[in-house]
């Protein structure tokens, strides 16, 4: 009998869900694909803010921001801003997004922040993460103050990758100034949910 080839589910261009501002950061306890070290929300205690990035290895929208994310992390390293990335993609359908694939990509990209693997996809659901990349910024009390896009750049639209939107929110937070509430969703590949594990907010409506 001929073996049936596995077919990965198609990519659905997906925007952020735009979780309500003021939402408390959901807890997590996940392992960094690079170091093997466990990180929790409390690992970032003492930080004035925390950026949570949902990403993966294979997505062209993430690859488009690859260098920009590395620069962003380096620029904010001297500040009291915590940065952590989480990948929830199903590694069965997308092997490049396995912990090994994530570690390889993180090293190649020069990402200095932890890249955690959400094997059960429960953390992504708790954050209502929908796409890669998807960005969330929480204040010192771990209340959501920004969610949405890194900047206006997308593959092929010729806008430079600057991180302008997220940087403006981070700078305002660190300076204890008001953060603009006019926030635009990120857009990218949908998170690759395991069959039968899709959240109620997917596919986007």
* Average pLDDT taken over every residue of the chain: 94
Q: Is 175 left (phi over 0), alpha (psi -120 to 50) or beta?
A: alpha
- State the pLDDT confidence band at 9, using cuts at 50, 70 and 90: low
- Helices H / strands E in the chain, number of each: 5, 10
Cα–Cα distance for residue pair 28/142, rounded to 1 Å:
13
pLDDT in tens, 117-164: 999 999 999 999 999 999 999 999 999 999 999 999 999 999 999 999
Instruction: State yes or no: cis peptide before 100, omega within 30 of 0.
Output: no
48-73 average pLDDT score? 98
Q: What is the pLDDT of residues 180-197, one digit of tens each?
A: 999 999 999 999 999 999
């Amino acid at each position: 009998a001929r073996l049936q080839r596995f077919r990965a589910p198609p990519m659905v261009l997906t925007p952020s869900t735009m979780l309500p501002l003021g939402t408390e950061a959901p807890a997590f306890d996940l392992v960094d694909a690079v170091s093997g070290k466990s990180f929790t929300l409390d690992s970032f205690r003492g930080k004035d803010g925390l950026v949570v990035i949902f990403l993966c290895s294979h997505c062209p929208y993430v690859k488009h921001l690859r260098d920009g994310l590395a620069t962003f992390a380096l620029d904010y390293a001297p500040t009291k801003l915590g940065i952590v990335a989480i990948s929830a993609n199903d590694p069965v359908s997308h092997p490049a997004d396995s912990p090994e694939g994530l570690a390889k990509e993180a090293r190649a990209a020069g990402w200095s922040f932890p890249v955690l693997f959400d094997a059960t996809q429960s953390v992504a659901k708790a954050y209502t993460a929908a796409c890669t990349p998807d960005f969330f910024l929480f204040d010192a009390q771990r209340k959501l103050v920004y969610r949405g896009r890194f900047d206006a750049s997308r593959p092929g639209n010729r806008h430079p990758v600057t991180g302008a939107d997220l940087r403006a929110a981070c700078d305002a937070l660190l300076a204890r100034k008001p953060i603009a509430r006019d926030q635009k969703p990120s857009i990218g590949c949908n998170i690759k949910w395991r069959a039968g594990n899709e959240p109620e907010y997917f596919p986007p409506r």
